[in-house]
Structure 1
Amino acid sequence: MRMTELIQKKRDGHELTKSEISWMIDNYTNDQIPDYQMSAWAMAVYFRGMTKTEIADLTMSMVASGVQIDLSEISGIKVDKHSTGGVGDKVTLILAPLVASFGVPVAKMSGRGLGHTGGTIDKLESIHGFQVEQSQTDFVKQVKEIGISVIGQSDDLVKADKLLYALRDVTATVDLIPLIASSIMSKKIAAGADSILLDVTVGSGAFMKNIDDARLLARTMVDLGNAVGRKTIAVITDMSQPLGTAIGNRLEIAESLAVLQGGGTADFRHFIAEIAQIMLSLAGLEKSIDEILANLSNGAALAKFKALITHQQGDFDELVNTPIHETKFSKIVKSQKSGYITAFDALAAGKLAMSAGAGRAVKSDSLDLDAGIHIFKKIGDKVAIGDPLFQIFYNKETFDVVTESQILLDNISISDEKISINDILEIIK
């Protein structure tokens, strides 16, 4: 078998066999296929696409390229959750302990942020002392003991995906639904959960910019999960504006803590409860929204969050007593109009937070864990001239806060008509 033959076959629109895909992934992972040939294949996929069978075969070949986590020691149905990313997306920080508070084990591996999208692991590392790395043995042991663990993705998990993603990133083939789906699902399947909840975000702050693409990606991933015996459900959620009221690592931890203490905005709490309801149902547990909201106010979810932090060497007392560290500089940006917020562009907000130091332009960039944005008003809120819209926190003396904040301000629309948006747009099973 030769790689040139597989490139030509896909270039001409033909379906690759399971053995051909397995051979390709195995040899690429073992440095027997050069990047330039894999790049040519990815570009052929860009123009010709992949069949459902090809995507499934690619996914499972990628799963086989690294270690697979065995969660069989943990009793009960293990449910995993993945988000395709967004701005202010701290859902896992609240959802994981909330679900665990109902006795459903949560054994989750999460990633870091890149560009305008934040990463759960970066946020957890803003908690003093928190350890995001664990051996597989300790990972399973912790879930058995306290019902929850959230760690960084193992370097040995789905080795082919790390190589292929890095290649796609520099060859303009990132936004390929077959390759996005196989990338996400190979990691979810290898992580060992019995059931999978997928949060597919759509809008300016997401990778999927329109509902049709989001729907296609969600459908593809749900079919992949179900085909290999993992009960899978996807929710398509709105990312046209930031999620919650905080963007930035320490700021999002503080907002998450507030929600777990019974605070936060009512609409955000309800959104989390809706997601939790679906995740619990995947574990065979049916709970009402009111029952789920109760665990956010009665201390049950907070207790799981505390257990998670302390078991992974984080300083919970310091977090509670000093939830936000002061930055050298901050700026409040006020409204220049009266009316109702009708747009608060998530991408512009994410880019502003990244420029302030809260995100990475490339993986090697260091983060300012205290930098970020607090949002005072969102879509549907009434504002008057002079009302605060958002506040920027930063430490970089070279940060041009006036110019950068104006870009976000220009992407906030205010009119006389009040509108509302739904956070959950569709559920795909």
Structure 2
Amino acid sequence: MTEAFDVVDVIRTKRDKGELSPEQIDWVIDAYTRGVVADEQMSALAMAIFLNGMNRQEIARWTAAMIASGERMDFSSLSRPTSDKHSTGGVGDKITLPLAPLVAVFDVAVPQLSGRGLGHTGGTLDKMEAISGWRADLSNQEILDQLEDVGAVICAAGAGLAPADKKLYALRDITSTVEAIPLIASSIMSKKIAEGTDALVLDVKVGAGAFMKDLDMARELARTMVDLGSDAGVKTAALLTNMSVPLGLTAGNALEVQESLDVLAGGGPADVVELTVALAREMLALAGKGDVDVEAALKDGRAMDKWKAMIRAQGGDPDAPLPVAEHTEDILAQADGVITDMDALDVGVAAWRLGAGRARKEDPVQAVAGVQIHKKPGERVAKGDKLFTLHTATPERFERAKEVLADTVAIGNAYEGPKSIVLDRIG
């Protein structure tokens, strides 16, 4: 068949700071998905977009073309509205686990189609797979049935949703074009819009352990994604949240599940509870349920009951003990004082080196590996106090994990960091 465009012309347009036409965008995404446009050509176009940007119309059309590359889910048959959350990923970010059942308590369905971890950010599915018997892969019908019966599902996104994104995502990773805001925004939003949710809350992380280190860039990304969602008819809002220090007191799969269970039992670290409650309120407000007592559902066991029902529905045993590492090693404070800083990225890399994450998408992960944090910024320590406990099934990994944590904690006289985890709201 004769192709509608020449890919070299499309690349040249963007290289020379021009605007891609809707027809060019539709064609290039479709042709790349079909294999007509080669990886090296799409790499050149991705780099041109990285360097020269896209306007709102281009990003919206690019997103729509990615959605059109695959199937769309439809939740209109459900007896309740749907509301979803997407996080741009961070260290210790286990919020999906307590959040999905918490929101479901209030008769809002939560379709959390999630992914696996790569590099220092943990994947939600990797965490959930620390639970005995739990399965990630559900058919579309199973997802619908579980949303109707239980009200929440955490599962793998089907291969049929935005297949163009899957190809382009892998390419961006190896061509240093990951940080391009038009490509990040269209990647996230094509999957979320194709998923078919009525409402979406974006948790855009900012700081050392996040993809976006800079508040202004994070704000631009959040605004771009909120606009894309709104233009597509999805009620969308974004919270910018602090990821300069790890979230909670654990980074690693089974460790983070245990911390999530603590939150669902009415306890858990204050920052994890704060963010879970803030996101739940946003998700419920967008779904038309703005006047409910979210904290009460954590305290009185209703959210935990939903969690157990959700785990059982996916073949898991919510009462089975979580796996525990055979090998642990402590890292101690070298001085007295107040912790003034803790680099979230270092903690994430240490957890990854212990076996909690993967360098390539086909690598296995250890359920037991990770870092337990004993003291956070703002807390006082004495020399010899435990700062971290490292967990792994393979003790030969300790040395490389300890290397990255050697200088990650700063101890001084006073802590000046942000008091709230939520830095801004866009919507």
Smaller-chain TM-score range?
A: over 0.9
Q: CA deviation at 1:403?
A: 5.2
Deviation at 1:402, TM superposition (A): 4.2
The DSSP-based 3-state class of the residue aligned with 2:319 is helix
How far is the alpha carbon of 1:329 from its aligned partner?
Answer: 1.2
1:295 maps to amino acid:
A
CA distance in 2, matches of 1:350, 1:45: 29
Question: Which residue of 2 is the match for residue 229 of structure 1?
Answer: 233
Normalising by structure 2, what TM-score?
0.97
Equivalent residues, number: 422
CA displacement, residues 384-418 of structure 1 (integer Å, 9 cap, x when unaligned): 1121111000121321x245324314111111113
Q: Which moved more, 1:113-122 or 1:325-334?
A: 325-334
Query: Match of 1:408?
Result: 405
Q: Is the CA contact 1:25–1:62 (under 8 Å) kept in the aligned structure 2?
A: yes
- Give the Cα separation in 1 of the matches to 2:178 and 2:274: 33
Aligned to 1:131: 135
**Deviations, residues 55-87 of structure 1 (Å, cap 9, x unaligned):** 000000000001100111112321111000000
- Alignment correspondent of 2:153: 149
State whether structure 2 residue 246 is matched by structure 1 residue 242.
yes
**Which residue number in structure 2 is paired with residue 311 of structure 1?**
313
Residue correspondence of structure 1 range 334-345 to structure 2 within 5 A: 334-345=332-343
Can you list the C-alpha shifts for 1:310-354, whole angstroms capped at 9, x where unaligned? 000001121xxx23x232210111111111111111000000000
1: CA distance between counterparts of 2:170 and 2:401? 29
**Which residue, out of 246, 253, 260, partners 2:257?**
253
Which residue of 2 is the match for residue 426 of structure 1?
424
Aligned mates of 1:4, 1:46 — CA distance in 2: 17
C-alpha contact (below 8 Å) 2:338/2:413 kept by paired residues: yes
Give the structure 1 partner of residue 388 of structure 2. 390
Cα distance, 1:420 vs structure 2: 4.1
Tell me, yes or no, if structure 1 residue 94 matches structure 2 residue 98: yes
* Residues 293-323 of structure 1, C-alpha deviations (whole Å, 9 max, x = no match): 11111010000100000000001121xxx23
Partner of 1:127, secondary structure, is coil
Report deviation, 1:278: 1.1
Question: Normalising to structure 1: TM-score of the pair?
Answer: 0.96
Match of 1:298 in 2: 300
Alignment of 1:10-409 (within 5 A): 10-287=14-291, 291-318=293-320, 322-323=321-322, 325-399=323-397, 401-402=398-399, 404-409=401-406
TM-superposed CA distance for 1:287, in Å, is 3.4
Aligned residues of 1:337 and 1:385 also touching (Cα < 8 A): yes
Q: Any idea what the Cα deviations from partners look like across 1:220-261, whole Å, max 9, x if unmatched?
A: 000100011111001011111110111100000010011101
2: CA distance between counterparts of 1:381 and 1:355? 26
Contact in 2 for aligned 1:348/1:407 (Cα 8 Å) = yes
- Which residue identity lines up with residue 67 of structure 2 in the other structure? V
Q: Percent identity?
A: 47
- Residue 263 to residue 300, structure 1, CA distance change in 2 (3 Å): same
Does structure 1 conserve the Cα–Cα contact (< 8 Å) formed by 2:274 and 2:421?
Answer: no
Equivalent residue letter for 1:84: T
2-structure distance, mates of 1:215, 1:418: 25
Check conservation: 1:270, 1:293, Cα contact below 8 A: no
- 8 Å CA contact 1:158, 1:187 repeated in 2: yes
Give the alignment's Cα RMSD to 1 decimal: 1.2
Q: CA deviation at 1:161?
A: 0.3
Matched residue of 1:262: which SS?
A: coil
Could you list the runs of 4 or more consecutive aligned residues of structure 1 that deviate by over 3 angstroms after TM superposition?
Answer: none
